[in-house]
Structure 1
């Protein structure tokens, strides 16, 4: 399906100024030098896949915007001068602060840098309108395996799409009553600076063992560690956590997540958090507005839809378990991947008025060797710099018998 989903359009509103803008970023490290020819080949294959598309608006009222192929791309950036390995994360943060535009293009950007140790770092950034974390991983895996997914052709006419959407929303509204949310959401705070970030690798076997010892799962351990880092920053009382849940149908790369929420009390251990998370997964997924078909947002004027969906899914924390990375991402051609991280970043915050209720976001992905946690802090009072964030992470891991290797 090449029409935008409700979640796609939410990210589009945020890109256009209706909230916190988001991009997806994947980061790779190798211990040896990746040849530019290989990256140019990857660049070409990516441009032919689902990242090589843009949003096109319909002139028919009620018809959803659609994706169409786009040849507007940023060239590969791979300067010859190496950077210090200690500057890798700062380089990655800089690469994430790129102007990717899902409507006008380019919607994605590939860059790399030589490391003075002899290795290479690679960054791929794309608009969150185009895909979410798991869709991003699938698109890259296909590109690395040289099996590009061609953007889906447009089938249904705009008029037919408008009539079908109106019909679905009308059917969904029959007998439905609007209900107010009983959950109290955190108050949004303005964000004027780039996020403070950290990426840390933890031995995968040790991470799983720590979860098992706590009679829990690796995902619940992620929630507990994230809450622990937030508490070390000074956040008190119950913490509300948003958890993305993958609900995509088929192998689409478009945004396919819905949100559930978990409230963590100060005395909750990992097993208690696990029980709360299981309960939340059994509840209806969040929509906006509550109790009304979410697709009604796609029938509203942009400004009204952006206002109705503002802050949707935002809580004190966001914890996204992206899961095990596919085997295709273990190598860049003949080069073994020595590190792989995934995260959402927020470009252009210094030039726009943005606000969010989220203080800290944490993204997890893992391989057989390591679990990689990416922390993105948006509260400049509680997380004033990256060194402070790292200190909180190290202390939290140490209390759980774990050690991490920072990027």
Structure 2
């Protein structure tokens, strides 16, 4: 199905990730990886690439023609090439190959928003990697695009770039709405301050500590752990939790063990929550809930309080 122009304006999250790409030079890229028991035929890879190219991942970020209006997404007119690794990878080479593939150049402003890559493994299997610029899709959008491409469901097709007077008028209307929203927000904030809220005017901002500088060529250490889902679910259930709360507890435990936070203070964990509806064309539609994890519960291996906290955060 083809999406109307009015529904494909850049959201706050899209704009945030796009600014990191354009201005800061530190783009965030999402990566899906499949490890297959055999080597996927070239024809299957081309078919998957072509189906993905018909869908919502193939989008280009167009700048608005009116100051104050949000940018809009349009259909990218081309499909990316498939990156095929010429050498056979050993197990010890897998993480390095995935990391190198993760840094392949993307440019949403030119419609170069995703890439597909494959590699053969020494055990007869293969790897398939899909990278997508985060401005173009969150995890939910990637899952939806892949599911549509492999199941025969109709793709979400974005409209072509619109350079007509109608698009100019739509930009003007959107800019007017954005200005009105900012004015309302400013007026509401002023009324709250007049109502007795504590003002931060004149307060001295806390100094920002300088972070450590990584040496040239340094990369983040990586550990890959493979666990059977049934085993993790059983372990979580024994301690009063679920697979999700076990994963939250694992992340909080790593932070505590690494000494990043006070070992007796709560660890605040961000919980992604999808706000994506059916046939939703938004690139990023994820909201964040937050739960405070008590390190004492972690030491007791008690997931019940965390499970209750997650439920409350989601609600």
User: TM-score, normalization: structure 2?
Assistant: 0.79
1:248 to 264, 273, 276: 276
Superposition deviation, residue 83 in structure 1: 0.7
Say if 1:89 and 1:198, in contact at 8 Å, map to a contact too.
Answer: no
Say if 1:73 and 1:105, in contact at 8 Å, map to a contact too.
Answer: no
Superposition deviation, residue 5 in structure 1: 0.4
Q: Which residue of 1 aligns with 2:202?
A: none
1:262 to 291, 300, 313: 291
Say if 1:82 and 1:114, in contact at 8 Å, map to a contact too.
Answer: yes
Say if 1:73 and 1:108, in contact at 8 Å, map to a contact too.
Answer: no
1:195 and 1:72, CA in 2 relative to 1: closer, same or farther beyond 3 A?
Answer: farther
2:139 to 133, 137, 141: 133
Q: Which residue of 1 aligns with 2:229?
A: 204
1:57 to 63, 79, 83: 63
Computing the radius of gyration over CA atoms, which structure comes out larger, 1 or 2?
A: 2
Q: Structure 1: how far apart are the matches of 2:38 and 2:96?
A: 20
User: Where is the strand percentage greater, Structure 1 or Structure 2?
Assistant: 1
2:304 to 248, 271, 287: 271
Q: 1:112-168: CA deviations, max 9, x gaps? A: 000010001010101000010111111111112243321146686111222233344
Q: In the comparison of the two structures, how many residue pairs are matched?
A: 278
Q: Which residue of 2 aligns with 1:299?
A: none
Superposition deviation, residue 190 in structure 1: 5.8
**Which blocks of at least 5 consecutive residues in structure 1 are unaligned?**
283-407
Say if 1:73 and 1:107, in contact at 8 Å, map to a contact too.
Answer: no
Q: 1:265-288: CA deviations, max 9, x gaps? A: 321242222233333334xxxxxx
1:98 to 90, 101, 104: 104
Q: Structure 1: how far apart are the matches of 2:269 and 2:107?
A: 29
Say if 1:79 and 1:113, in contact at 8 Å, map to a contact too.
Answer: yes
User: Where is the helix percentage greater, Structure 1 or Structure 2?
Assistant: 2
1:245 and 1:130, CA in 2 relative to 1: closer, same or farther beyond 3 A?
Answer: same
1:163 and 2:163 correspond: no
Say if 2:69 and 2:174, in contact at 8 Å, map to a contact too.
Answer: yes
1:149 and 2:156 correspond: yes
Q: Structure 2: how far apart are the matches of 1:20 and 1:169?
A: 28
Any residues of structure 2 matched to 1:81-120 within 5 Å, and which? 81-120=87-126
Say if 2:33 and 2:129, in contact at 8 Å, map to a contact too.
Answer: yes
CA RMSD of aligned residues (A): 2.7
Q: Which secondary structure does the structure 2 equivalent of 1:110 belong to? A: strand
Question: Which shifted more, 224-233 or 25-34?
Answer: 224-233
1:66 and 2:72 correspond: yes
Say if 2:58 and 2:111, in contact at 8 Å, map to a contact too.
Answer: no
Q: Which secondary structure does the structure 1 equivalent of 2:30 belong to? A: strand
Q: Which residue of 2 aligns with 1:380?
A: none
**Which blocks of at least 5 consecutive residues in structure 2 are unaligned?**
1-6, 199-205
Say if 2:14 and 2:283, in contact at 8 Å, map to a contact too.
Answer: yes
Q: Structure 2: how far apart are the matches of 1:152 and 1:173?
A: 35
Q: Structure 2: how far apart are the matches of 1:120 and 1:82?
A: 9
1:163 and 1:255, CA in 2 relative to 1: closer, same or farther beyond 3 A?
Answer: same
Q: Structure 1: how far apart are the matches of 2:20 and 2:51?
A: 28
Q: Structure 2: how far apart are the matches of 1:83 and 1:203?
A: 24
Q: 1:83-120: CA deviations, max 9, x gaps? A: 11232122111110122111124111110000010001
Say if 2:49 and 2:79, in contact at 8 Å, map to a contact too.
Answer: no
Superposition deviation, residue 19 in structure 1: 8.0
Q: Which secondary structure does the structure 1 equivalent of 2:44 belong to? A: helix
2:256 to 231, 236, 253: 231
